[in-house]
Amino acid sequence: MRKKYAAGNWKMNKTFEEGQILLSEVVNMVKDEVVNPNVQVVLGVPFPYLSSFSKLIDTPKVALAAQNCHPKESGAYTGEVSVSMLKSAGVKYVIIGHSERREYFNESDEFVAQKVDAILAGGLTPIFCCGETLSQREAGIHFDFVSGQLTNSLFHLSADDLKKVVIAYEPIWAIGTGVTASSAQAQEMHKVLRDHLASKYGQEVAEEISILYGGSVGAGNAQELFSQPDVDGGLVGGASLKSRDFTDISKSFPA
Ligand code: 13P
């Protein structure tokens, strides 16, 4: 059975103290309440908090993610953070290719591909984000566009390495807008992406890859989204900043 994920992306939110409280609340709720044992809870927190937050997590049910990394191992890259730094701070997952980084920091598919390689070489798990704009969807090119993002950033990998990648489909028009893709729209795209993976790596490999949905996931719609056969969880922005909502999302998977 594919691994399921409830992943939070805090983005650039919360002070250190606020974050400590939120993290502790989520860890305690996930430990105390009934979360499907096949669900990995992941918290993508700001860089400066990673090292100390990793010491606050006392359950394998919760793991830490960074929200970015640089592909180089070390060197003169002022302000950047390498995979080995993240690893030494207790990080297990790295979110890469988020549309906000693609848009505001001009990150290309090729640059994201280099990050994928660095993360895998360091033994961490990339959470690879992809997704189309509203105008691409309206033009009917969304399936080709998102499939192309996978081709450009992942298809150089061996099957064994591809199996270590988590994919997050996040339609840009659904991020932070309160407009969620319908469960049918999410399922449709996830199936297209799984078929695209199968066309290169075969069905057996494609069936092993977890594909998360992101874009206005909340406690009220998670259950419907996560009940879709190709939706293996969520990458959650706004609702991950509220411990009760995020824990409820973590509990929204079919038994
Ligand atoms: P929202 O859940 O706030 O729409 O954000 C989604 C997202 O970008 C997660 O990476």
Question: pLDDT (tens digit, 9 = 90+) per residue, 154-175?
Answer: 999 999 999 999 999 999 999 9
String of DSSP letters for 73-130: SSSS-TT--BHHHHHHTT--EEEE--HHHHHHS---HHHHHHHHHHHHHTT-EEEEEE
Atom of ligand 1 lying closest to residue 99 CA: 8
Tokens of 213: 């949905």
Q: What is the pLDDT of residues 47-97, one digit of tens each?
A: 999 999 999 999 999 999 999 999 999 999 999 999 999 999 999 999 999
225 has pLDDT over 90? yes
Pick the residue whose CA is nearest to atom 2 on ligand 1: 237
pLDDT at residue 11, rounded to an integer: 98
State the distance from the centre of ligand 1 to the C-alpha of 229, rounded, in angstroms. 21
The four Cα atoms 88, 12, 97, 78 give a dihedral, to 10 degrees, of: -60
- The verdict on the CB of residue 238 being under 6 Å from ligand 1 is yes
State the distance from the centre of ligand 1 to the C-alpha of 212, rounded, in angstroms. 12
How confident is residue 218, by pLDDT bands cut at 50, 70 and 90?
very high
Catalytic residue annotation: 98, 170
Q: What is the pLDDT of residues 226-255, one digit of tens each?
A: 999 999 999 999 999 999 999 999 999 998
- The verdict on the CB of residue 202 being under 6 Å from ligand 1 is no
How confident is residue 205, by pLDDT bands cut at 50, 70 and 90?
very high
Q: How many whole angstroms separate alpha carbon 39 and alpha carbon 250?
A: 7
Other beta carbons within 10 angstroms of residue 86's beta carbon come to 25
State the distance from the centre of ligand 1 to the C-alpha of 170, rounded, in angstroms. 8
Q: What is the chain's length?
A: 255
pLDDT at residue 138, rounded to an integer: 96
Specify whether the CB–CB gap between 171 and 130 falls below 8 A: no
Atom of ligand 1 lying closest to residue 129 CA: 10
Tokens of 58: 């006392």
pLDDT at residue 255, rounded to an integer: 85
Q: How many whole angstroms separate alpha carbon 202 and alpha carbon 14?
A: 42
Atom of ligand 1 lying closest to residue 98 CA: 10
- The verdict on the CB of residue 217 being under 6 Å from ligand 1 is yes
178 has pLDDT over 90? no
**Partners of residue 65 on adjacent β-strands:** 44, 93
Tokens of 21: 């409280």
pLDDT at residue 45, rounded to an integer: 98
How confident is residue 35, by pLDDT bands cut at 50, 70 and 90?
confident
Mean pLDDT of all residues in the chain? 97
Atom of ligand 1 lying closest to residue 218 CA: 2
26 has pLDDT over 90? yes
Specify whether the CB–CB gap between 36 and 4 falls below 8 A: yes
Domains by residue range for the chain, with CATH: 4-250 (3.20.20.70)
Query: Given the structure tokens 């411990």, which residue do they identify?
Result: 243
How confident is residue 187, by pLDDT bands cut at 50, 70 and 90?
very high
How confident is residue 185, by pLDDT bands cut at 50, 70 and 90?
very high
Q: How many whole angstroms separate alpha carbon 71 and alpha carbon 128?
A: 14
Work out the average pLDDT over 114-142.
Answer: 98
Helix (H, G, I), strand (E, B) or coil at 51: helix
Pick the residue whose CA is nearest to atom 9 on ligand 1: 237
146 has pLDDT over 90? yes
- The verdict on the CB of residue 127 being under 6 Å from ligand 1 is no
